[in-house]
Amino acid sequence: MSVHEHRAAAPNSSISCAVVTVSDTRTKETDASGDLIKDRLREAGHLITFSRIVPDDAEEVRSVLLHLAGEVEVVITSGGTGIATRDRTVEVADRLIQKPLPGFGEIFRMLSFETIGAAAMLTRATAGLYGPEDGDADTLLFCCPGSPDAVTLAMDRLIVPELPHTVWEVVRQMRTTPEA
């Protein structure tokens, strides 16, 4: 089956999503990136069931992500993907992700390069499937940079267009994986 046939087979239904902003400085009033993510998801017909701002603290990020595992179909984070000392989102995600989607980060950096040049290499945007510590990897996780321009790029060019297909692939995989 071609990718076009897979996309056509994927139901275009509402997907349950969580939005997590990782920042020591953002507030509900100043979280432009989190608002952009929620707006793009709602415009595409998806449901935001959880939204929170958490500090750049590995344990707090891990705790929120584990709380969401298996509770929503998709988690999208913004912030904590750079190379600053406090940027810990990627380290946490890498420990939780059981099935990486390296293409997300690769394509995101390629698209970013077209706009911002060599500075695109400073992002560690990543994605993959994760789950509860003792469960299946059935939750999609996308870790995006914190800037509104980067979030717009990720949402408009990568995440929103492919979300129904990607979630369908996860659900399809879970239905066809034999019980151990």
Which one, of 144, 135, 138, 90, lies nearest residue 112 by Cα? 144
pLDDT at res. 114: 96
d(CA 48, CA 180): 33
Q: How many independent structural domains does the chain possess?
A: 1
Taking residues 32-39, report their average pLDDT.
98
Q: Flag whether 101 is in a domain.
A: yes
pLDDT in tens, 132-180: 877 889 999 999 999 999 999 999 999 999 999 999 999 876 666 555 4
pLDDT in tens, 39-61: 999 999 999 999 999 999 999 99
Q: Flag whether 140 is in a domain.
A: no
Q: Flag whether 97 is in a domain.
A: yes
Q: Flag whether 134 is in a domain.
A: no
Range of the domain at 24: 14-30+42-66+88-112
What is the distance in angstroms between the CA of the first residue and the CA of the last residue of the chain?
27
Q: Flag whether 52 is in a domain.
A: yes
Decide if 89 contacts 21 (C-beta within 8 A): no
Q: Flag whether 105 is in a domain.
A: yes
d(CA 171, CA 113): 33
d(CA 124, CA 145): 8
pLDDT in tens, 64-120: 999 999 999 999 999 999 999 999 999 999 999 999 999 999 999 999 999 999 999
Taking the C-alpha atoms of 115, 15, 42 and 32 in order, what is their torsion angle to the nearest 10 degrees? -50
Q: Flag whether 78 is in a domain.
A: no
Q: Flag whether 26 is in a domain.
A: yes
